[in-house]
Amino acid sequence: MTRTVLSSATREIIIGFDQPFCVIGERINPTGRKLLAAEMKDGDYSRVEKDALAQAAAGATMLDVNAGIPLADEPRILAESIQLVQSLTDLPLSIDSSIIEALEAGLSVYQGKPLVNSVTGEDESLERVLPLIRKYGAAVVAISNDETGISTDPDVRYAVAKKIVERAQDHGIPVSDVVVDPLVMPVGAMNDAGKQVFALLRRLREELKVNTTCGASNISFGLPNRRVMNGHFLSMAAAAGMTSAIMNPLHAEDMNAVRAANVLLGHDPDCRVWLQANREPAPEGAEGGGEGRRGRGERRRRRSSGSDAA
């Protein structure tokens, strides 16, 4: 059973087929967020702090940190953001950048074993990123595209994933430290995108034996009522073998879909996490809450049994 072990300075988490679904919080990312980008560029990380704490409170398993801002000092901003987030939460982090200097800056200050997002099947990417993964003992997201771009053929995407896994092994990186992103296409543009990715996930699990992740919201791009679509996708993807996703933990529908998948796949013993998140609160003023009411009911039954016996 493949297990990808990641850690902060004080906390370890496992991505695996026998583990609860790993929610990678996506909010610390200036792409498409002009205000956040401007603040981070100016060294103002107050919104980064709020996003980190909010995602941790919402139940994220780990957090993705991205500092991709045009014309900014990305290595410095990424390193400073990682240090700040690690001072606020003990959740492990995904260090997210396409700039090799930024990745190294982030890895050099990180405490623990991070996930690096990401490497592609392009030879240049493989030869630049994989030595860093080996040097710092990190795990890496392997995105299933190469010099030819993103194929609409799932067999081609599988072949690219296999190439990355094999090349990682050549660098001394175990299969367990490669988390494959099979690339989720928008179902509104490609009608069989869901069917394709579910079949690909099963192959990645059964043949390559790798853990997997994706940008979950890609599936619903361009469609109305995206929360419902994303939630159903997450549950079905988990059933097909996906073990993590980069997603927004502040969306309650998405998180409940993940919790439901954990229950139905046997990864939430006694439904404890589901009950904690969804149990209705006791009515205001109710003495002793739910346990107290059950206790009184038990006492009534015992008294009734006693009078019958007499």
Position 189: which residue type?
A: A
- Whether residue 305 has pLDDT greater than 60: no
Residue 152 lies in a domain: yes
- Whether residue 307 has pLDDT greater than 50: no
CA-CA distance, 33 to 29, in Å (whole number)?
A: 8
Residue 63 lies in a domain: yes
Q: Which range marks the domain in which residue 117 is found? A: 3-294
Residue 187 lies in a domain: yes
- The per-residue pLDDT for range 186-228, each reduced to its tens digit, is 999 999 999 999 999 999 999 999 999 999 999 999 999 999 9
CB 240 within 8 A of CB 265: no
User: Angle at which helices 100-109 and 74-88 pack, to 10 degrees?
Assistant: 30
- The per-residue pLDDT for range 106-158, each reduced to its tens digit, is 999 999 999 999 999 999 999 999 999 999 999 999 999 999 999 999 999 99
Residue 305 lies in a domain: no
CATH of the domain at 130: 3.20.20.20
Residue 300 lies in a domain: no
Higher pLDDT: 83 or 307? It is 83
Residue 301 lies in a domain: no
Residue 28 lies in a domain: yes
What does the mean pLDDT of the chain come to? 93
Predicted TM-score of the model (pTM): 0.91
- Whether residue 84 has pLDDT greater than 60: yes
* pLDDT at residue number 283: 77
* pLDDT at residue number 287: 54
CA distances from 250 to 26, 133, 298 (A): 10, 30, 39
* pLDDT at residue number 304: 44
Residue 310 lies in a domain: no
CA distances from 298 to 170, 224, 287, 288, 294 (A): 64, 49, 15, 14, 6
CB 88 within 8 A of CB 80: no
* pLDDT at residue number 177: 98
CA-CA distance, 46 to 27, in Å (whole number)?
A: 13
Number of structural domains (the chain) is: 1
CB 253 within 8 A of CB 277: no
- The per-residue pLDDT for range 9-26, each reduced to its tens digit, is 999 999 999 999 999 999
